[in-house]
Structure 1
Amino acid sequence: MPRPGYLHRLPSLHWLWLLVLAALFLGVGMGLRDPWPADEPRFALNALEMLKTGQFWIPHRAGEPYPDKPPIFMWATAASIHLTGSVRLGFLLPSLLGALGTLALVMDLTRRLHGRRVALLAGLALLSSFQFGLQARTAQIDMLVTFFIMLGAYGMLRHALLGPARRWWFIGCAGMGLGILTKGVGFLPLLMLPLWGLLAWRRQAVPLAWRDLGLGIAVILGVVALWVVPMALYTTFSDDPALAAYRDNILFKQTGERYADAWHHVKPWYYYLLEVIPWAWLPLVLALPWLVPAWWHRARRLDARVLLPLGGLVLVIVFFSFSPGKRGVYLLPTLPLLVLASAPMLAGLLSRPRLHWLGAGVLALFGVVFLAAGVLGALGLPALARLAERHGVVPWAWWSLLGLVAFGLLAWGRPRRGLVALACWLAVFWLSWSTWGYQLMDPARSPRDLMQEIVAQTGPEAWLAMPAFDEEFVLQARQPMVHFGYHTPDDDQFRRAFAWLHEAPGERWMLVPQHRDEEVACADLTRTRDLGVQNSEAWWLIPGGAFDACSGDAGAAPLYVAPTTLDAASSGRHD
């Protein structure tokens, strides 16, 4: 029998119903599209190769070791594809579960700190946040790592604000370890430790004993070591230079070097403040003029319930701003902290007329932009027509509907309910994105039909080479396919491809973008087959016999066979 008070401690049904609603809302559209670039085809390819080859410890991309990320997300994707029996269903499942887990942690912590009503408002605030909705529907690695980061923050805050709760501190440390094995930045909650210590010194938070701090760090390192130590031993004693390069890349280049001396996505220091936060934090970003004074007031009172998540939020932004390499998605872990720091003020914000007017203004702007773009596109405005032709999508009716819905919500809510109307429009946007939008964009962003056309022209037994390959083409291949190393210089890849084609010109073909005409200028281009536009590129299919005059070099680059394509030749589809 349950102990007295057991039922009283259970979450309210409203709390659970919101999670069910979130699962339905975020899950709409699963199964309606293929993995899209960037990143999604790569992780789906990693997962399929794990299932095909049984090599789970070292992720591979089209037969080549993939050193950019640890394997947790690939394991989750492989498990999801295996359990659902479908790439289209399985590849999005880890992000969906990560989003629901993050939402549950935020709501539960808010309920314990501020009550059930505020917890519901916090859940709705997080669910309506633009970047949260985007990443929950995207099979990138960031939503799952955000869940593990939030689990770490949850464990810390349970101990600091509601403790002592040593068990939750250690659970949070385990979550941080899993976050490190997901993307390397799972340690971000530790940035709150100095502020936690200061608040504990001022008797505003439960102190963390030095012994527990040491044990927690040991838990983090122990979880990381579960994969890193066997991986390091295996790659060190394998006598395979490719695996040794994998070890060095994943342990050093993709961690400290990527942060301190990034080689791509280089942005100015103000990138997050001016170019990411204004859209990623919508609609809560509109409340900053009221939130900042409220935060200052609570900071003067040393309110640890607000200061700890707010301090973590600021420190995460500062941490990523110091690195020259920046991507908008890096700020996703700040959203749960933003909601936690704003939770006590959410009810009051809803009574601010000027905030509702601001929300109505933003919604009106969206309505004008989408309706104008939809109508002008339908009327054939040249700039929009060229955009549609380049991307292979004609969204005019969809955009017009979104504009009309915006004005309809404005008419319903009037400015006095502008923030609510904006949140409702965002819900309509995501529901239409996950249904109508998927149907419009999938043929343009997934080369499934193109790869079926290629196999129809070459036959399923013909081999296909793709120098400077993109993962989405390998993922959708319906015949054996080779490439020459993702990071190999392009000139070396083409020389290796020419040598490979010369070995059996009657059975081998090359798929190449038309803008690579200089690299294949030595070929007899009268024999090329124009495949049209796919993924914003025009493509050629060239038979191996057309490269007789091209000089090849079998030692110029490695040769990799994509394992997943071998099954595709016989099974027909990855669905």
Structure 2
Amino acid sequence: MPKAMRSFLDDPSQAHYRRAWLLLLLLAIVLLGIGIGLRDPWPADEPRFALNALEMLRTGQFWFPHRGGELYPDKPPVFMWASALSIWLTGSVRLGFLIPTTLSALGALVLVVDLGRRLHGRRVALLSGLALLTAFQFVLQAKTAQIDMMLTFFTTLGAYGLLRHALLGPARRWWLIGWAAMGIGVITKGVGILPLALLPAWLWFGYRGRAVRLSLKELLLGLGVMLACIAAWAIPMMLMASFSGDPALAAYRDNILFKQTGQRYADSWTHLEPWYYYVVKVLPWAWMPLVLALPWALPAWWHRLKRSDARVWMPLSAVILIVVFFSLSPGKRGVYMLPTLPLLVMALAPLLPGLIRRRGLHRAAFVVLALLAGVLLLAGALGAFGLPALARVAARHQVDPWAWWIVIGALGIGLLAWTRPARGLWALSGWLALFWLSWSTWGYALQDHARSPRDMMTQVAEITGPQAWLALPDFDEEFLLQARQPSVQFGDKTPTSDQFRRAFAWLKQGDDRWLFAMEHQAKDYSCIARDQITDMGVQNGDDWWLIPARAAAQCQGDPNAAPLFVAPTTLPDPSGKAPRL
């Protein structure tokens, strides 16, 4: 543990608090921010949102997100706006696309620390910040350009505002800020109302005199603020879509308001998992290492429930209700659990000083680190010696991580030898910090060429010429994002066979046109002249073919088989200078 932090734990004075807080904040900035600018957006979601943001900048159309010239109705635009702003400010997709999630994570951390200080004192506040910063899913998502970390910031701000009013109030300004945060959270991702999971316990503790009582007037006022924030986006969107006369905009309106909210929850069509998915398959790793404390935290929570400790049971009850809420939906993704982490830390906060002194917790962390470091060290050594199974995995993913695994595994073993089981929790926390630092530097360098098609799309432009048109049937966003030439696509929901028929008709309209397609799809068309194909090799797990128009001259096309969307390529300003990729 750093000397400043040890001093703080021994003597929680104001001077020590300031030094320790600055140290924690610096650690968070380094740990969460390192790696920005060192990699491109990676599948599955990052290229899509970067493409949305880039097309906003290129077309000036900020109200209705597009992807490859086609409306993108799956998510509201707030995260895309933030991404577009950071890309515009930095002048680079590579520099800008991770900034919104990094700032969101730092914001959530600040809120957790501040609430911990106000409820439990300085010592607990800093321990809460450290606990959140060690949580595996929290750091992972801070380094991933997905919507969920920004959603988590707004849900944490919402919970902060409600808890300030309930436990430290009356604080009606924070009550309204909390509801406003939920409204913005809804137009970031539909489940921004998650802080409402605090209300059942709040009503109970308010009735028992352990929290500020809620009135119907306050509830209605808060609801009005939330709806006003949602309406600031939804009403202009609905008006523009309804009176535009464009069926595509009307379909966007209906999709974003209904299919992507209620229908996605109640009758999900993707990521179908059993009800126990989160408890069994997600939380054990997502909450690591906090999950190791549960054997000691559970009886402590029970004692605090009997004492009617609202400071613990309001956030803890919200965690339980959120897990149940998402478990009831047939569609599940591990990232849906991210908003529970700040609330879990809030519930653990007053227990942390006692937990970090538990020998059993340190030994459990020691065992976990021994397993993680041992597996990585052994796998790295076997891979370096050419074990066939590992060699096949490396070849399939185009990554040779053996030296990295050996180093990070050896560092874990070294920390175990230095700290011994009595300090296993500090060893695991230190190793996680080293892991994330190496992941964001060495790991990025190892993986970027395999997960980003930047080099392949540069080669495509060199072969075709930068002014040649490129068709991408059944495209993945990362290829369109990295395209270096004018490009078209044929609709995200269009059947693949119809996309190829439309592409063949499009190719016949000019010789300076090319088709870029996955080999396993294009090989089904015997009409394509094989001797004119350029095999571009493997990228993101698929083999890709580059096909000139003349090679598909014998293929029967249908100009009505699918829509045609042109991907925007220039900014609407006189310079025409697009952000660098």
Q: Which category of TM-score, normalised to the shorter sequence, fits these structures?
A: over 0.9
Aligned counterpart, 1:26: 32
Shift of 1:566: 8.7
RMSD, aligned CA: 1.7
Letter aligned with residue 71 of structure 1 = P
What does the per-residue CA deviation read over 1:362-392, in whole Å, with 9 as the maximum and x for residues that have no partner?
A: 0000111101110111111111111111111
Task: Give the alignment partner of residue 511 of structure 1, picking from 511, 516, 537.
Answer: 516
Letter aligned with residue 543 of structure 1 = P
> Taking every aligned residue pair, what percent have the same amino acid on both sides?
64
Letter aligned with residue 31 of structure 2 = F
Instruction: Say whether 1:499 aligns with 2:505.
Output: yes
Aligned counterpart, 2:382: 376
What does the per-residue CA deviation read over 1:48-81, in whole Å, with 9 as the maximum and x for residues that have no partner?
A: 1111111001111111010000000000000101
Q: Distance in 1 between matches of 2:527 and 2:116?
A: 66
Instruction: Say whether 1:554 aligns with 2:559.
Output: yes
Q: Distance in 2 between matches of 1:100 and 1:198?
A: 32
* Structure 1 counterpart SS, 2:546: strand
Q: Distance in 1 between matches of 2:525 and 2:122?
A: 65
Shift of 1:518: 4.6
Q: Distance in 2 between matches of 1:557 and 1:333?
A: 40
8 Å contact kept, 1:479–1:565: no
Aligned counterpart, 1:353: 359
Distance 1:10 1:72, change over 3 A: farther
Task: Give the alignment partner of residue 120 of structure 2, picking from 111, 114, 119.
Answer: 114
What does the per-residue CA deviation read over 1:197-224, in whole Å, with 9 as the maximum and x for residues that have no partner?
A: 1110011111122101001000000000
Question: 1:35-74 alignment to 2 at 5 Å?
Answer: 35-74=41-80
Task: Give the alignment partner of residue 528 of structure 2, picking from 523, 526, 546.
Answer: 523
Q: Distance in 1 between matches of 2:547 and 2:434?
A: 45
Task: Give the alignment partner of residue 312 of structure 1, picking from 296, 305, 318.
Answer: 318
Distance 1:571 1:221, change over 3 A: closer
Letter aligned with residue 314 of structure 1 = I
Distance 1:174 1:571, change over 3 A: closer
Question: 1:387-402 alignment to 2 at 5 Å?
Answer: 387-402=393-408
8 Å contact kept, 1:444–1:534: yes
Task: Give the alignment partner of residue 464 of structure 1, picking from 466, 470, 487.
Answer: 470
8 Å contact kept, 2:58–2:571: no
What does the per-residue CA deviation read over 1:77-117, in whole Å, with 9 as the maximum and x for residues that have no partner?
A: 00101111111111000001100000000000000000011
8 Å contact kept, 1:151–1:172: yes
Shift of 1:573: 7.5
Bigger mean CA offset, 426-435 vs 15-24: 15-24
Instruction: Say whether 1:297 aligns with 2:298.
Output: no
Q: Distance in 1 between matches of 2:32 and 2:200?
A: 36
Q: How many residues align?
A: 566
What does the per-residue CA deviation read over 1:476-525, in whole Å, with 9 as the maximum and x for residues that have no partner?
A: 00000100001111111111111111111x21111111121454333112
Q: Distance in 2 between matches of 1:518 and 1:565?
A: 33
Aligned counterpart, 1:86: 92
* Structure 2 counterpart SS, 1:32: coil
Aligned counterpart, 2:10: none
TM-score by length of 1: 0.96
Q: Distance in 2 between matches of 1:10 and 1:218?
A: 42
* Structure 1 counterpart SS, 2:40: coil
Q: Specify every segment of 5 or more residues in structure 2 that has no aligned partner in the other structure, as ranges.
A: 1-13
* Structure 1 counterpart SS, 2:228: helix
Shift of 1:149: 0.3
Letter aligned with residue 568 of structure 2 = P
Which 4+ residue blocks in structure 1 deviate beyond 4 angstroms?
A: 8-11, 570-573
TM-score by length of 2: 0.95
What does the per-residue CA deviation read over 1:260-303, in whole Å, with 9 as the maximum and x for residues that have no partner?
A: 00001000000000000010001110111111111111111110
Q: Distance in 2 between matches of 1:548 and 1:79?
A: 44
8 Å contact kept, 1:522–1:549: yes
Q: Distance in 1 between matches of 2:368 and 2:268?
A: 35
